[in-house]
Amino acid sequence: MKLSNSTNNKKIQLKIENFCLYQERCEKEVVIKLRSWGLEKNLIDDILLNLLNQDLINETRFSKNFSRGKFRIKKWGRLKIYQELKKRSISEIDIKIGLKEIEEDYDFTCQELVKKIWESLKSRSLIEKKKKIWDYLRYRGWEKALIFDQLEKIERQSINL
């Protein structure tokens, strides 16, 4: 028995709603998912409009949650978070709002990361330690000036010990 278009569309709508409820999604992720199901553009647009009206997709909320999650769990810096949000076609305004979510703990987290890595790198020269920390934090999107400042602090502390 073949499903009618209306019944099929309702099933698709329910399935994509569950997809959005499982975790916060941005519009681009939802569109990619809908395209992977082979849906036509006008149906995708209708579904997106419905999801936006139900507040199941909210780019600002996504940006905030994404920024907090990647910062707290993966210890990403602003640059990497910014880059990943840009990849997901999030607006500049929403990116700024998302990045404000991590401002409070940002410097402290960088300091703690530098300290933790420094202590874990036993029997290495000062230059090797600094290079390892620099590479680690740059890869994770931390700003050069902040890394440099934290390395200077930890170096002064280790010399004074």
Mean pLDDT of 138-158: 94
pTM (two decimals): 0.89
- The pLDDT value recorded for residue 161 is 57
Q: Which residues contact 149 (CB under 8 A, 6 or more apart)?
A: none
Answer yes or no: is pLDDT of 157 > 70: yes
- The pLDDT value recorded for residue 8 is 86
Per-residue model confidence as pLDDT tens digits over 12-70 = 999 999 999 999 999 999 999 999 999 999 999 999 999 999 999 999 999 999 999 99
Per-residue model confidence as pLDDT tens digits over 107-120 = 999 999 999 999 99
Report the chain's mean pLDDT, rounded to a whole number.
93
Whether residue 140 contacts residue 117, with contact meaning beta carbons closer than 8 Å, is answered with no
- The pLDDT value recorded for residue 134 is 96
